[in-house]
Structure 1
Amino acid sequence: MTLAPYAPAAPLAPSDLAGSPAHLPAGAVSPGMTSDVAPTQADSFPLALLLEDKLVVLVGGGAVAARRAAAFAGAGARLRIVAPTLHPSIAELLGPQDEWVQREFILGDLTDAWLAHTATGDPAVDAEVAREAEWRHIFCINAGNRDAGTAAVPARATAHTPTGRVQVAVDSGDPRRSVAVARHMQDELESGRAPLHPRRRR
């Protein structure tokens, strides 16, 4: 397996991220925020990402990272995996355009990334990845703690219908419920029970 070399920029120090909201003490207000409005849990916004030839950095090389790496690669993304060891399926997946940084995460590993994903099994490391991502204005999927990230992967299913392929994505906040709904929609579409032709509003 031949991988592209990785030469990170000068490593960041924790103090470099001092302006990140993630480093502010509880109750503090960062520039652009107002303190007279109580925070609420906002709904997620569904979005289809066009990742072809975009760099996605995955921190952690286990089974969760393996599943997500396969999905990102399937969307045409370039991968940088930061992990001391790799799940066998990741090793088989990586191509010459991809990078394996064989060590633990350090600040600076998200350089040039369009999207970050962390699944190390260590909440402290995952939080550090999320902090750097926020500082760089990169969306970050925190597989260990959805609420500590800025993006989430919905339950997905692909339906093959007479009129073409349809991708279904469901995010209900409950992973099991989302998977059940996505599979139900896939079945409805492939069976023909769900309408496939657009209708004009009256």
Structure 2
Amino acid sequence: MAEHPAYPVGLRLTGRRVVVLGAGQVAQRRLPALIAAGADILLVSPEATPSVEAMADAGEITWEKRPYAEGDLANAWYALIATSDPEANTAASTEAERNQVFCVRSDDADQATAWTPATGHSEGVTVAVLTTDARGRDPRHTAAIRDAVVAGLRDGTLVAPHHRTRTPGVALVGGGPGDPDLITVRGRRLLAEADVVITDHLGPRDLLAELSPNVEVIDAAKLPYGRFMAQEAINNALIEHAKQGKSVVRLKGGDPFVYGRGMEEVQALAEAGVPCTVVPGISSSISVPGAAGIPVTHRGVAHEFTVVSGHIAPDDERSLVDWPALARLTGTLVILMGVGTIGKVAETLIAHGKSPDTPVAVVQEGTTAGQRRVDATLATVAETVRTQEVKAPSVIVIGEVVDVGPKRHA
């Protein structure tokens, strides 16, 4: 038997009897998948790990607290033999052979009639990896192959195009703060499967280089606006391409719903009858300070943090921010899009009671190769930003947390 490779097959065990002998670590690892497969599971073992016992208490398996006995495998479709008693394992394996029940043996794979593959899952696909040569079985190598394939499918580095008809639509993907490794696994996979990608200048640009040459990449800043506002033109482009039957990804920086106007796009798509999936992203409001060594909260220093858009100055009648209330808060204030208005912001906060000595850090191009951090105080930040020629995109952090960790200037 060892001279021939195992024949791979997927067992459909829903409602079918599966017998598990032994309730140690092996059973603990294998039982969840059997439960998920809908099997009717009989567990035979005098003792069980707490996790296995919890499965029995929850009614997911039937547990008979005793050793194996002849006849336990009657009417079984599949068996997992994993007791600590070699004689019992051999007897059960013999019964399985006699009754034509495929069985796995944890103690002696050569005497088993089935092997458990290293398995993983990604978006409705199960990856199962088996060693073809019984004499050279290497479970760690098999598991490593499984992990590599599943990781590739999840993050989009291993592209497996769908050949059946896909439902056209739009995925609104948050690309994270800039480092291409900080996009979510789902976002990267959807990006790899896209027919059209509509991006903006804050989306992680390095990811675009990984796309297939047949993917149409559209820079939102270069769309012909004509009589439309910029956002209207973007909405129209999303709708137009989706209605052509294409899979469209709208790649945005940070998170789509944190100053990303993502809901406007969702609403436009809904009105046009175009299905939309929202994939959250890591917001720069917390990730960029973290990358610069600044926690937005810290025990005994800040119990809250507030994220504010600084694109409109405090003295502008269009501002919706209650700046006097912000000045009274004792936690962390994170300002996005505030490089051009930081002078007015600092003046307003000081005027309403914030100490001029409050620490401030400005982090430019956070998480990217061009990241740099500039430190100041509320009293000096406007001049510091000017003399240091700080540019957007930058995240401004105001509060005592700025001085918690080591300052890293670059």
Q: TM-score range by the shorter chain?
A: 0.7 to 0.9
Partner of 1:191: 155
Q: For residue 56 of structure 1, report the CA deviation from its aligned partner.
A: 0.7
Mapped to 2, the partners of 1:90 and 1:79 lie a distance apart of 12
Report whether the alignment pairs 1:137 with 2:100: yes
Report whether the alignment pairs 1:72 with 2:31: no
Q: For residue 99 of structure 1, report the CA deviation from its aligned partner.
A: 2.0
Q: Deviations 1:12-54 (Å, cap 9, x if unpaired)?
A: xxxxxxxxxxxxxxxxxxxxxxxxxxx6521011111111111
Report whether the alignment pairs 1:57 with 2:19: yes
TM-score, L = length of structure 1: 0.73
Amino acid paired to 2:65: Q
Amino acid paired to 2:41: L
Q: Deviations 1:103-150 (Å, cap 9, x if unpaired)?
A: 111110111211011111222211111100000000000011111110
Partner of 1:127: 90
Mapped to 1, the partners of 2:12 and 2:2 lie a distance apart of 29
Assess, with a 3 A threshold, how the Cα gap between structure 1 residues 177 and 102 changes in structure 2: closer, same or farther.
same
Alignment of 1:6-155 (within 5 A): 41-94=3-56, 95-96=58-59, 98-155=61-118
TM-score, L = length of structure 2: 0.37
Assess, with a 3 A threshold, how the Cα gap between structure 1 residues 197 and 177 changes in structure 2: closer, same or farther.
same
State the superposition RMSD in angstroms: 1.6
Of residues 186-195 and 112-121 in structure 1, the stretch that sits farther from structure 2 once superposed is 186-195
Mapped to 1, the partners of 2:156 and 2:2 lie a distance apart of 40
Amino acid paired to 1:88: P
Sequence identity percentage: 32
Mapped to 2, the partners of 1:101 and 1:157 lie a distance apart of 30
Amino acid paired to 1:64: V
How many positions carry a matched residue from both structures?
A: 157
Amino acid paired to 2:147: R
The answer to which structure, 1 or 2, has the higher relative contact order (CA under 8 A, 6+ apart) is 1
Structure 1 stretches of 4+ moved >4 Å: none
Partner of 1:169: 128
Assess, with a 3 A threshold, how the Cα gap between structure 1 residues 82 and 40 changes in structure 2: closer, same or farther.
closer
Mapped to 1, the partners of 2:61 and 2:157 lie a distance apart of 42
Give unpaired runs (5+ residues) of structure 1: 1-38
Q: 2:2–2:110: 8 Å Cα contact kept in structure 1?
A: no
Q: For residue 198 of structure 1, report the CA deviation from its aligned partner.
A: 5.5
